[in-house]
Structure 1
Amino acid sequence: MAIAGPGGVDDAIAAGLDLDGTPIPAEMLSLYREVMDLESQRARSGVKKSMRNRIVKTGSKHFDQQTLDARLKAAGWEGLKDKEIAFFYGA
């Protein structure tokens, strides 16, 4: 199964298949769906905060710490927090 783009993993989960084509165990799918259902019911604190969180989580995989920090600030958000740096960059 070819996975690409932001919805690729969701498509694979919906199909119940791992990237190598093997089935995902029913227990794993059940727990995942239960947690995602609970998450879908959780109140949100704001779209911009959620956007920033997603940028930090995903951006840390693609940008070094200094670049991501600068890009966040340039866009008008707060720079990386100490706990984010420790978690995503191990510093």
Structure 2
Amino acid sequence: MSQNVAPTTGADAVDAAIAQGIDLDGTPIAPAKLDLYNMVMAKEAQRQRSGVLNSMRSRIVRIGAKHYSQADLNRMLIEADFAPLKAKEIAYFYGDS
């Protein structure tokens, strides 16, 4: 792997690549795409936050759906005392209604 190419694993791989302006495969990211991304992320950085539990659950669902079955993720959420999967989350992440 070239020293100019960011690692492609880990939670920070995408952020590091964006900061370098280089995709994970080593190709440059177009300036217009970087500008739009940075503009939207600046707006997000200004958004008022009210707590972390909802954000934690959202991240668990969004990322967990890529790695766990619906039944397993739902069970883990309940065991951790989070709300179970909602119908709209199941439809979006698992394609069921």
Whether these two folds match at TM > 0.5 is: yes
Unaligned runs of 5+ in 2: none
Distance 1:3 1:13 in 2: 12
- Which 5+ residue runs of structure 1 have no aligned equivalent? none
Counterparts of 1:10 and 1:46 in 2: how far apart (Å)?
Answer: 23
Q: Among the aligned pairs, what percent are the same residue?
A: 53
* Residue matched to 1:26: 31
1:34 alignment partner AA? M
The Cα shift of 1:46 comes to 1.5
**Residue of structure 2 in register with 1:14 after alignment:** 19
Which of 42, 45, 53 aligns to 2:58? It is 53
Question: How many equivalent pairs are there?
Answer: 91
Q: Residue type of the partner of 1:71?
A: M
Structure with greater Cα Rg: 2
CA shift for structure 1 position 17: 0.5
> Which deviations, in whole Å up to 9, do the C-alpha atoms of 1:27-53 show, x marking residues without a partner?
000000000110011112320110000
What is the RMSD of the two structures over their aligned residues, measured on CA atoms?
0.7
